[in-house]
Amino acid sequence: MSSPNISRKRRATVIGAGPVGCLAALMLAKRGWEVSLYEGPLDPRSSLFKSTAKQRSINLAISHRGIAAMHAIDGSMAQRFMQTAIPMKGRMIHHLDGKLYSQLYDRDGQCINSIDRALLNENFLDQVSASENIRVFFRHKVQAVDFESKNITFENMNTSRNTTASFDFCVGADGSYSVVRRQLMRVVRMDYQQEYIKHEYIEFKMPASQDNEGHLNFALDPSHLHIWPRRSYMFIALPNQDHTFTCTLFAPSEELDRLDTQNIFLNWFKSNFPDALQAIGEKNLINDFTHNPRSPLICTKSNPYHYKDRAILLGDAAHSMVPFYGQGLNCGLEDVRILDVLLSQESVMSTVSERTEDREDERLMRALSRYSQERHKDLVAITELAMANYVEMRHLVTTPIYLARKALDNLLYTLSSTQYRPLSYLNMLLSTELYAENEPRGWLPLYTLVTFRPDVSYDTVRRTVARQSAILTGVGYVGAAVLLGVAGVWMSYATRSRYR
C-alpha cells in the first residue's frame, strides 16, 4: 500500500519589515503560506524604540501605483492607511522674488498623497501582527543565506547568538544595502550596478503657525508639494497631519562642504530661500542643520532578481532610485502586486507535499523567472526617469521653454484623450492583471502616466513619452521654421519699403 501524500503549508521567510517586506508577507499569508518576517532593529511601535530612536517625521508621497498594490492585497487596509494621508493637487513653485506659481499635477484633479513614513510602517506592522499566518521576529539581523540547503542564519540581538531557520522561499526586502542581495550574488550570475549621485539631502522641519486664538495652521498651502528650484540645488516641503511640513534640502556635496559654519549656512539659506526661512525660523533651521545628518542618494540596478524556485529581491533591495519622481516606495509596493499576479497566473500552490518537497517547483520557478524577465525593463525605466526628473524639479520647472512645452503637452492631452480612469476602477482591474494597457490611447503627459496610470507599465510609459516627445520637438521645429519664415518675409518687406 502506498503511503498517504501528506502536505504542509509552504514556508516563506521575508527579510526586512519595511513597507515592502510587510506587504510581501501579507500577500503570501493571504495566499495561505506560513510566513516568518525578520527585522534587524527593534519594533518601531515599542516604547523602547520610541525613547531611543531619533524621532523625525519623514514623509513621502504615495500615489496610484502604491495604492493599487496595497488594494490588490487588502482593499480595506489600503483605505485605512490612506485616511492618514494629505492629498496634494500640484507643485507650488517658490521663485526667489517671493512669487508663487501653482502647477497642477493632473487635468482631472487627481492628487499625490503626503504620508507619514513612520506611521505607514507602524500601520503595516499592526496589520502583519494581526495575521494568523505571519510570525514577526524583531532584532534578528540576517547574516548569511544558504540557498542550496534553504537555510538562513541570523544574529539574534536579544541573545547575541546566531540562530538558523529553514525556508522554502526567501524574500529579500532588506533595503538598499541588502544582505540577501549580496548572498544571492554568490549563486546567481547577477548584474549589479551602484551609483552615488553628486547630491546629498538634509531634512528640516517647518513648524505649524498659530492664529490669534492659538489654533494651529499650516505655514504654507497644504494642498501642494512646495518646491524652491534653484538650478543646482532645491528645497522641498510636504505637509504633515499635525500642520507641520517636512522639508528636504537637496544640494551637491561640494556646495554643502562649503557651508561649513552655521553663519555661512544661514546667510546662504537666507539669500536662496527667504520665504522658507521666514516660515521655519532661524533657530529651528540652525538646530536641524546642526543635528540632522547629511544623507547620500544611491541608485542601484540588479538583474535577475530571483534564484530558481526559492528566492526573490523586492523593493529597494532590488532597485534603489533617487527620490525625484516620488516612486521608490510606489514601485516597491508594485513589485509585490506583480509577484502576486504572477503567482496566480502560474497557479503556484500554497502547500507542498512531503513526497515532492525535495524537487524544484516548476510553477514557482516559472513565476519567478517571468518576474525577472518582465519586471527588469520597467525597473530600469523608472530608475532612469527618476534621475531625469531631478533636473526638471530643480531647474526646468522655471524655464519658459519647459512651461511652453508643458502647456502644449496639456493642450494635446485635453484635445486627444478623453479617457479618465478613476483609481477605484484601476484598483479592481489590477488585482488580477499585470497591466491593462500595452499602448495607451490618446496623448498622455509623462507625469500622469507615471503617477496616475498604474495600468501602464513604466517601460510602456517611457516608450510612449519618447514617441510623444519626438512629436513635440517636431512641432517645435515646424513652429520655429514658420516663425522664422514670417520674420524673414516681414524683414524683406520692411527693407524694400524703406528703400522704395
Ligand X SMILES: Cc1cc2nc3c(=O)[nH]c(=O)nc-3n(C[C@H](O)[C@H](O)[C@H](O)COP(=O)(O)OP(=O)(O)OC[C@H]3O[C@@H](n4cnc5c(N)ncnc54)[C@H](O)[C@@H]3O)c2cc1C
Distance CA 267, CA 202 (A): 17
Nearest to 105 by CA among 188, 223, 241: 223
Q: Looking up cell 527588469, which residue turns up?
A: 376
Nearest to 141 by CA among 39, 22, 46: 39
Q: Looking up cell 485605512, which residue turns up?
A: 80
* 269, 278, 281, 317, 395 from 266: Cα distances, Å: 5, 12, 11, 37, 22
Q: Between 124 and 413, name the residue whose CB sits nearer to ligand X.
A: 124
* 10, 29, 317, 338 from 13: Cα distances, Å: 10, 11, 15, 19
Per CB under 6 A, residues contacting ligand X are 15-21, 38-41, 60-61, 141-142, 173-175, 179, 201, 248, 315-316, 323, 326-330, 332
* 87, 236, 250, 285, 315 from 224: Cα distances, Å: 8, 11, 19, 22, 27
Q: How far is the CB of 393 from ligand X (least distance, A)?
A: 12
Q: Between 289 and 413, name the residue whose CB sits nearer to ligand X.
A: 289
Distance CA 272, CA 394 (A): 13
* 67, 145, 313, 331, 481 from 318: Cα distances, Å: 20, 16, 5, 11, 47
Q: Between 156 and 232, name the residue whose CB sits nearer to ligand X.
A: 156
Distance CA 346, CA 362 (A): 9
Provide CB contacts within 8 A for 455, sequence distance 6+: 421, 426, 429, 430, 433, 435, 436, 437
Query: Treating both helix axes as pointing N-terminal to C-terminal, what angle do 117-129 and 19-30 enclose, rounded to 10 degrees?
Result: 30
Q: How far is the CB of 392 from ligand X (least distance, A)?
A: 15
* 216, 217, 335, 399 from 212: Cα distances, Å: 10, 11, 48, 40
- Are 258 and 279 in contact by the 8 Å Cβ rule? The answer is no
The number of CA neighbours under 13 Å toward the Cβ of 279 is 22
Nearest to 15 by CA among 154, 125, 117, 124: 154
Q: Between 220 and 238, name the residue whose CB sits nearer to ligand X.
A: 238
Q: Looking up cell 510609459, which residue turns up?
A: 461
- With H, G, I as helix, E, B as strand and everything else as coil, classify residue 454: coil
Q: Between 36 and 468, name the residue whose CB sits nearer to ligand X.
A: 36
Q: Is omega for the bond preceding 44 within 30 degrees of 0, making it cis?
A: no
**Strands, E assignment, 208-338:** 209-210, 216-217, 224-230, 233-239, 245-252, 295-303, 306-307, 311-313
Distance CA 286, CA 291 (A): 8
Q: How far is the CB of 60 from ligand X (least distance, A)?
A: 3
Q: How far is the CB of 205 from ligand X (least distance, A)?
A: 14
Q: Between 64 and 462, name the residue whose CB sits nearer to ligand X.
A: 64
Burial class (CB in 10 A: 0-12, 13-18, 19+), 148: exposed
The residue type found at 287 is N
